[in-house]
Chains A and B, each alone.
Chain A
């Protein structure tokens, strides 16, 4: 699969279309209205999905993202996905949900089953980036994970919500039992490596970089793209 840099050079227009991170975090991303198949995804996956879509010329796929900050409120995800599917249903031939379970405890699966839409497999995005079976087999209960997006947004998703900007003395109450910060790298970006390593130091954890690429996100989107294209023929 193509890296972000390859995508940008191949599709110059994509650079301008790159969504603003702050928007992805707080309000999500509206669909373009083009394409017969809609992906409803977490805002934290927008860059990766757009990179894959554009690199593979899946022009029939449109992307709508819910605010990435729902990551910190998993109890709200299932309801938000339900609303998004119902709102978009009349406008698309098919809808897929690009959320893992994400701490919903099966609530998202119940919504998907109820609405007849498929979602990507796995307990978290960490799992499908790493490979779900491999991730589960690792059984890393004392690992704290970051993706590219979460590394860029570390302050907004970790430091500020936990009050560590105002009260750094609370760090061990939150992370005292964690051992390692594992950076699951979707892209090869030295500046993100530095940020992730700094994040580990800030949390008092050892650091590991694990190059995952897009993992099973790529294969799942590929399957959906192919199946939906075949259906349209």
Chain B
């Protein structure tokens, strides 16, 4: 995004300029600059949650949009995610101390037979950035692992990910098992992964297919709000 060769002294920028610069640095995957920016804003008295949402999530949302539009590709998204992760690792303990708002709780994992977790790691990070508590149960999960995790973690949402056309049908196994156990409607089920589409999500009985991490966040917020509205009606 920024390609001028001039060295920018982050500490000399005012708050608005610094946030804008951090968004640029995040876009360019500059981990150290993001860490420095986060520490500067903390030093200026910014609340951790504000830094997270305005600088990091704001920047990562631009990355997500450009990925969707074919301007950025997976390597660049991974670098940006690495930079955001570095910033979040400074903020996470502080967020816990300051009692940042929690929107909902999610368990996410890649299905049995599948070892790809780039997508679900991005979703985890963006969901955490948006105020969700997320338990990422990793790769190659059989149905038992999902069900155990959603109970243990008292989840609102179950997220399932798959990269392979040969593994994505396993999502239906998980949903069907939830139905058999009479717990399907207790959870919001979101699915995602490169070979999936909306039609597949509907066919297996998921609540929604999310084409990328930003959509997953928006969809999760929408379903949680709906759930709260139903509960208060």
Contact = CB atoms under 8 A, between A and B. Distances in A.
Interface of A: 74-75, 101, 103-106, 123, 139, 141-142, 162-164, 166-167, 170, 173-174, 177-178
B114 interface: yes
B79 A105 contact: no
A83 B116 CA distance: 32
Interface of B: 73-76, 78-79, 113-118, 139-140, 164-166, 168, 195
B118 A105 contact: no
Contacts of A103: 164-165, 195
Nearest to A163: B75
A177 to B, nearest CB: 4
Contacts of B78: 163, 167, 170, 173
Contacts, number: 43
A75 B193 CA distance: 13
Judged by DSSP, the binding face of B is loop
Contacts of B195: 74-75, 103, 105
A141 B74 contact: no
A106 B165 contact: yes
Contact of A174 (B73, B118, B139, B140): B118
Given A163-B74, A163-B76, A141 B165 contact: no
A105 B113 CA distance: 16
Nearest to A170: B78
Identify the 8 closest CB pairs spanning chains A and B, nearest first: A163-B75, A105-B165, A177-B115, A105-B195, A141-B113, A173-B78, A170-B78, A103-B165
A167 B75 contact: yes
Contact of B139 (A74, A75, A123, A177): A177
A141 B167 CA distance: 10
B74 A101 contact: no
